[in-house]
Amino acid sequence: MVYNVLWSDPIEEDAGASRNVFGVHQSPRGKMARSFGWNITESFCAKNGLDLVVRSHQSKKHGFGFDVMHDDTLIRVFSARDYENHGNDGAVLNIRHVDGEAGEGGALSLRPQLIRSMAKRGR
């Protein structure tokens, strides 16, 4: 179970096609890893009283360092730019309390900061 939690990846949302993909599926990254659809993220958030899941450790070739996915309920962030020479950007998230909302249960603001790929700078 721990392996699945650490290594499972969200199913990409390309042109709305993934809205028809539900549940948990085999992952191209190996037998023990899984891919999960938007409904899994939505269900997890509802059961745990969450609005958003922030996850990492998934580089995207030539991608930005972050992706907002699954109807804005999941952010994928990857901080290592040019990971394995993939030409990807990196990113970090700046997370802070919204003015007047500090304390337990207060609203948070998330702002990604891009770390531009060295390979892309030369273009």
Phi, psi (deg, nearest 5) at residue 17: -65, -30
Among the CATH numbers 3.60.21.10, 3.10.20.30, 3.40.630.10, 3.40.1160.10, which is that of 2-121? 3.60.21.10
DSSP-based three-state secondary structure for 68: strand
Taking the domains of the chain in order of start, what are their residue ranges? 2-121
pTM over 0.85: no
pLDDT in tens, 5-44: 677 889 887 645 556 778 888 888 778 788 899 999 999 9
Q: How far apart are CA 12 and CA 61, in angstroms?
A: 13
Q: For residue 68, list its beta bridge partners.
A: 75
Q: Read off the pLDDT of residues 36-92 as tens digits, 9 standing for 90 and up.
A: 999 999 999 999 999 999 988 777 888 888 999 999 999 999 999 999 998 899 999
